[in-house]
């Protein structure tokens, strides 16, 4: 039976651990061995909205495994722009490839594609709903950097209201028994209460603050996100908060020695360039881990064992 990757909510902890194990194995494989694994297979990268990083890292992953890539990078390059329905596009493209990677602004589109398609579908982001491959690569990065996931303390900084990356990662970390979270956000961009809801309210602790400095010395992972200007109805409000979430190297003096600063990228002005040179900067290796995790995902969903 074909296996799709649509939502983190569909995965058990054991299934997530399987992805992590596989990613570690992929990383240990020599490049020439890796290159033989998906020869003759074709991945369709169907990007109905632009996304440089996710698309390029999927394409890079497929090329590293020896497979071929077809696809498009924006809706205007497809027949959807001529009025073709989304499902007709899926029915057509599934004849051209072995696996589909879909990014679409509509929420639930990957789920719909998975339902109508006879080949595996990977969700590369559906509107503000899910982006499971980002969450998996974040978990892989945390496990690699800290040697474990459970029991760590994570601070999230920035737009916690709209960032699906943050929502999805918090829910996944909760599954891994991460119980302490520090949430640093302006009042208007705080984490919606729904994401803190759980059957075990006494187990999890969410500390909310407006001040980045408060979080730095207390966490193992500092997960930064971009504060998007367009999210603010009042631009004066944006001007007020934008710099209060700027992390600089000087602010990291009090940090725990093993602290890692992560960011889904692109950054705008949340992390000063002087942080890049510190031992804490984990965001560019995180981007590299994205390719490794996506190699693992492609292998798993194409049924190739290593």
Partner 1 sequence: MSERNEKVLMIPKIKLGIVIDHIPAGEGVKILEIISRYEEMQDVPVTLGLNYDSKKMGRKDLIKMQLEFLSPEIIQHISIVVPGVTIKAIKDYRVYSKVVVQAPKVIKNLLLCKNPNCVTNLESGIETLFHAVDEESNRVRCNFCERIFDRSELKPIIK
Q: Which range in 58-66, 99-107, 135-143, 265-273 contacts partner 1 by CB under 8 A? A: 99-107
State yes or no: residue 100 binds partner 1 (CB under 8 A).
no
> What strand order describes the sheet that includes 260-262?
205-209, 180-184, 153-157, 221-224, 260-262
Angle subtended at Cα 193 by Cα 190 and Cα 199, rounded to the nearest 5 degrees: 145
State yes or no: residue 194 binds partner 1 (CB under 8 A).
yes
Q: Which range in 109-117, 134-142, 232-240, 276-284 contacts partner 1 by CB under 8 A? A: 109-117
Three-state DSSP at 207 gives: strand
State yes or no: residue 85 binds partner 1 (CB under 8 A).
yes
- Give me the least distance between CB of 90 and partner 1, in Å please: 11
- Residue from 87, 179, 188, 209 touching partner 1 (CB under 8 A): that is 87
| Residues ≥6 apart with Cβ < 8 Å to 103 | 46, 47, 48, 49, 51, 54, 55, 124, 125, 126
| Residues ≥6 apart with Cβ < 8 Å to 171 | 8, 9, 195
Nearer to partner 1, 59 or 126 (CB): 126
- Cβ burial, residue 33 (10 Å; 0-12/13-18/19+): exposed
Token pair, residue 132, equals 């499971």
- Residue from 19, 47, 86, 283 touching partner 1 (CB under 8 A): that is 86
State yes or no: residue 122 binds partner 1 (CB under 8 A).
no
Nearer to partner 1, 94 or 295 (CB): 94
Q: Which residues bind partner 1 (CB under 8 A)?
A: 7, 9, 85-87, 105-109, 111-112, 126-130, 194
């Amino acid at each position: 039976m074909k296996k799709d990757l649509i939502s983190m909510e569909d995965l058990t902890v054991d299934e997530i651990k399987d992805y992590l194990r596989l990613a570690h194995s992929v990383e240990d494989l020599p490049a020439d061995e890796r290159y033989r694994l998906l020869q003759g297979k074709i991945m369709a990268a169907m990007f109905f909205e632009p996304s440089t990083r996710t698309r390029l890292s999927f394409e890079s992953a497929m090329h590293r495994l020896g497979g071929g890539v077809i696809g498009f990078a924006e809706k205007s390059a497809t027949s959807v722009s001529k009025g073709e329905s989304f499902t007709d596009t899926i029915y057509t493209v599934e004849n051209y490839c072995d696996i589909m990677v879909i990014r679409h602004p509509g929420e639930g589109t990957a789920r719909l594609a998975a339902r109508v398609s006879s080949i595996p579908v990977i969700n590369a982001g559906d509107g503000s709903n899910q982006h499971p491959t980002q969450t998996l690569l974040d978990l892989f990065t945390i496990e690699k950097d800290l040697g474990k996931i459970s029991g760590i303390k994570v601070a999230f900084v920035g737009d916690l209201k709209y960032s699906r990356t943050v929502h999805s990662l918090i829910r996944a970390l909760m599954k891994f028994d991460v119980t302490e979270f520090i949430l640093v956000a302006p009042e208007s961009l705080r984490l919606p209460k729904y994401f803190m809801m759980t059957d075990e309210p006494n187990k999890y602790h969410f500390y909310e603050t407006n001040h980045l400095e408060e979080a730095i010395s207390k966490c193992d992972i500092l997960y930064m996100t971009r504060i998007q200007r367009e999210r603010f109805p009042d631009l004066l409000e944006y001007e007020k908060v934008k710099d209060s979430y700027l992390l600089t190297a000087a602010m990291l003096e009090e940090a725990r020695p093993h602290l890692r600063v992560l960011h889904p990228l692109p950054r705008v002005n949340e992390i000063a360039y002087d942080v890049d040179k510190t031992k804490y900067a984990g965001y560019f290796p995180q981007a590299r881990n994205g390719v490794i995790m996506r190699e693992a995902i492609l292998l798993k969903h194409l049924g190739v064992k290593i």
